[in-house]
Amino acid sequence: MDVQALRSQIERIDTLPTIPSVLRKLLLIIENPKVSLNEIGSFISNDLVLTSRVLKVVNSPIYGFPGRVSSISQALILLGLNVVRGMLLGVSVFEAMQKTMLGLWEHSLGCAVTARIIAKRKDLKEPEEVSVAALLHDIGKVVLGLKFPDEYKKIMSDAETKENFIFDAEKNHFNINHADAGAWIAQRWNFPRSLVEIIEYHHKPHLSKNVPVQTAIVHLSDILVRAKGFGFAGDNFVPAINSSAWQSLDLSETDVKEILKEMEDSLSQAEDFLLSDE
Amino acid sequence: MLKVSVNNLKPGMKLAKPVINEAGIMLLEESTELTAALIDRLQNMNVSSVFIEGASKPQKSKEEIMLEIDARFRKTENEPYMGMLKRMLKEHVEELYK
């Protein structure tokens, strides 16, 4: 299939019958760039499962408001529309994530936690925005897995038997990888330009023009979470770090050690969050 | 810090983190000292486990973790900076087991 045909197939993913109904409803809302805080708030509040998931995530170590957020409207005020939009998508795709690739949700949460730690260390103004980008960075794997379930299974077993990176196995099969697929769908869903760019370039952070620091942070988070073996992202190898991204982050050895220490606590809390019941 | 299932809690243990229910409401503050009555209440409130003060030890042996790290870095450890990252991670693991 040529790339253009693949892209238009992926962009029509909303029409797939396997898309969970809550996600379908949600897409109608988040695709609209003019949606208001009130509309999102009442949409979430009308869905009990969604409400409890969102509150769980907001009160988890990922967003750093432990036990302090008790309503959706409060979450929207604290985190802002873009973060809540991304988080909603994150919590809605988690079943699809587990179905496509067992461990991908853990990997994504681990990256969200880690990206927030690094973003705070780099004094970024919006650590939550980087964190939500990290939560969604592998959305392309879900999209490919939902759209082409049999082919994606084969790609995964190829990666396993040939001991390849998952992005190489994807590329061998589709001529594109999950970062491309993720960027297409994020664009189609009218996600902010910065989020699209982070998803598109999380394996090639030097290509990011508008948000190079944020992209480098998600790139490093992915590497650290895989290095620690938290979750599963499609293969059991740590990808190489991009030299210019690494240099641009300018982290000292002490910084890295401190990040690893903070990850210890936050990942165990994230694990607890993952294991806790609905 | 140690994660303890509510069934294994003992009076006198101290919370390392606040206990929060699913709706996001805080039930007990951090550093609360548990009493038999509080433990009863936690068991009745559908809380599965809480964090207790005290050092937590990773469950796998150090040697096992080190071997896994070697395996994960196998393809890329000779790329720029990757050897360094691997060394830092291993030093970090050493610290955890001290």
Model pLDDT for residues A181-230, shown as the tens digit of each residue: 999 998 988 788 899 999 999 999 999 999 999 999 999 999 999 999 99
Query: Touching check for A256 and chain B: CB below 8 Å?
Result: yes
CA atoms within 13 Å, Cβ hemisphere of A83: 21
CA dihedral A156, A162, A163, A169 (to 10 degrees): -50
The model's pTM: 0.79
Average pLDDT over residues B20-35: 84
Q: Which of A172, A273, A270 is nearest to A221 (CA)?
A: A270
pLDDT one-digit tens code per residue, A48-102:
777 877 787 777 766 666 667 888 888 888 887 778 878 777 777 777 787 889 8
What is the b/e burial string over A224-251, where b = at least 16 CB atoms within 10 angstroms of the residue's CB?
bbbbbbbbbbbbbbbbbbbeebbeebeb
Average pLDDT of chain A to the nearest whole number: 87
Q: How many CB pairs under 8 A join A and B?
A: 90
B 8-47 near A (Cβ less than 8 A): 17-18, 20, 22-26, 46
**CA A251 vs CA A176, A247, A264: distances in Å:** 32, 8, 18
- Cβ contacts (< 8 Å) between B98 and chain A: which residues? none
Per mean pLDDT, which range of A29-38, A105-114, A173-182 is the poorest? A29-38
The DSSP letter of residue B14 is B
Q: What is the pLDDT of residue A51?
A: 80
Question: Among A130-144, B1-15, B70-84, which stretch is predicted with the lowest mean pLDDT?
Answer: B1-15
**Mean per-residue pLDDT, A165-183:** 97
Is B89 an 8 Å CB contact of chain A?
A: yes
Percent of chain A topping pLDDT 90 = 53
Mean pLDDT across B32-53? 84
- The sign one gets for the Cα dihedral A143, A165, A111, B50 is positive
Confidence of residue A278 (pLDDT cuts 50, 70, 90): very low
Q: What is the pLDDT of residue A240?
A: 98
Higher pLDDT, A14 or A235: A235
- C-alpha A24/C-alpha A66 separation (Å) is 30
**Can you give the pLDDT at residue A19?**
67
